[in-house]
Amino acid sequence: MNSEVERISDLAEAGERMIERLRRQAFLPESRKGLNLRFGIAEAAALMGCSTNRIRMAEEDGRLPSPPATDNGRRPGYTIEDLLKMREVLGASPARAPLDRPAIIAVQNFKGGVGKSTVTTHLAHYFGVQGYRVLVVDCDSQATTTTLFGFNPHFNIAREQTLYPYLSIDPTQTDLLYAVQKTPWPNVDLIPSNLELFDVEYELAASGADGNSVLASRFRKLKQGLFDLARNYDVVILDPPPALGTISLAVMQAANALIVPLAATTPDFCSTVQFLSMMNQVSEQLLSAGIAVDYDFVRLLCSKFDSNDPSHAMVVQIMEQTFGPALLPVPILESAEISHAALRMMTVYELEKPVGTPRTHKRCRANLDAAMAQVEALVRRGWGVTAPASAHEIFNAA
């Protein structure tokens, strides 16, 4: 009688085994993926906001090591570690000032399928390329973000490595430092997740008559734990569950900025309107309970836009008329390159070379840079600074 129910278990186990096979195929010979990105001197100079000559001069006078030449005499390019050292030597670090508070950004929408985890990981890697110190916190028990960082939530992550020991009814950890994992990115860390994190929801739901006080304490506890950790970072990015639950509410209260991704379809637009209405109601309820919700910025980001689909263009126009300047002007274009990278459990920023055509890759990367830079500008505005003008902009202004 339970054969079909039992089949669910078989399907889940088969799926986990396949994920592990895909991970091993993508990341052999290492059990976790490495980062083999290289940046040419022109790209490095653009990231530093300086000339290539300034980099060469720093290499010639010994302030920077020269990249070793390959067998054909060509320079192999700079690693992320090299770029971080270069920023330090050339005074090109974008890090916040000590008195500026870290940006704690929740990427949140209660509708699934809007690219929430894809936005989270691409945003983290974009900030990593730009030289920021980044912490990503996967608060979703589905653990898509954890997977995109090269971890298998089923095989590689134990419950004790997630938020669970900190948020559970009977916590065994008093701070979040235990959960921070290094990633292949030297300046991007991760607090991973797995399915067992959902036990927090069960425990708090079953907490009895004092449930409200327990919930309130968990909201404050997550905010304090993240605030303590954030002192070592410039940007903290939170990926909450796509549903209204205890963890989602705690994330909503812990963040000081909100990015709402949505696809360019009518159902996504309608669902997001409902999400915003629910957020408003929940914020008022939290405030009445003495739990403040305060954001430096709230922006909507169209995360899946097909420029060749007239219906997408029409929905984006509706978004613009509805949300005005709260909708970020540059959407994320749907691209095969994003899908190809995801198949390899990567982001576009991690690809050593194009998976599709060079033209497709270049267009996708340029679009992602422009879309992510909108969020960077909001973060820097909160610190009272703006991105430095490029030489091209200075020349045209003159």
Q: Does 137 lie in the same domain as 49?
A: no
- CATH code of 243's domain: 3.40.50.300
Q: Does 229 lie in the same domain as 152?
A: yes
Which range is least confidently modeled, 7-21, 123-137, 261-275, 295-309?
A: 7-21
**Quick one: residue 208, left, alpha or beta (phi over 0 = left, psi -120 to 50 = alpha)?**
left
Q: What is the mean pLDDT of the chain?
A: 86
- 329 assigned to some structural domain: yes
Please report the pLDDT score of residue 4 as a whole number.
Answer: 62
> Which domain, by its residues, includes 315?
103-397
Q: Does 340 lie in the same domain as 221?
A: yes
Q: Does 125 lie in the same domain as 82?
A: no
- 293 assigned to some structural domain: yes
- 12 assigned to some structural domain: no
Residue the block writes with tokens 């990593």: 128
- 31 assigned to some structural domain: no
- Please tell me the distance from the alpha carbon of residue 191 to that of residue 186, in angstroms, as a whole number: 15
Q: Does 121 lie in the same domain as 257?
A: yes
- CATH code of 52's domain: 1.10.1660.10
- 303 assigned to some structural domain: yes
What average pLDDT score do residues 89-103 get? 94
Domain count, the chain: 2
**Quick one: residue 94, left, alpha or beta (phi over 0 = left, psi -120 to 50 = alpha)?**
alpha
Predicted confidence (pLDDT) at residue 361 exceeds the cutoff of 80: yes
Q: pLDDT tens across 97-155, in order? A: 999 999 999 999 887 778 899 999 999 999 999 999 999 999 999 999 998 998 888 88
Q: Does 108 lie in the same domain as 80?
A: no
- 1 assigned to some structural domain: no
Q: Does 180 lie in the same domain as 71?
A: no
Q: Does 240 lie in the same domain as 173?
A: yes
Q: Does 142 lie in the same domain as 73?
A: no
- 34 assigned to some structural domain: no
Q: Does 134 lie in the same domain as 186?
A: yes
Q: Does 371 lie in the same domain as 262?
A: yes
Q: Does 279 lie in the same domain as 300?
A: yes
Higher-confidence residue of 76 and 369: namely 369
Predicted confidence (pLDDT) at residue 53 exceeds the cutoff of 90: yes
**Quick one: residue 49, left, alpha or beta (phi over 0 = left, psi -120 to 50 = alpha)?**
left
- 67 assigned to some structural domain: yes
Q: 209 pLDDT band (50/70/90 cuts)?
A: very low
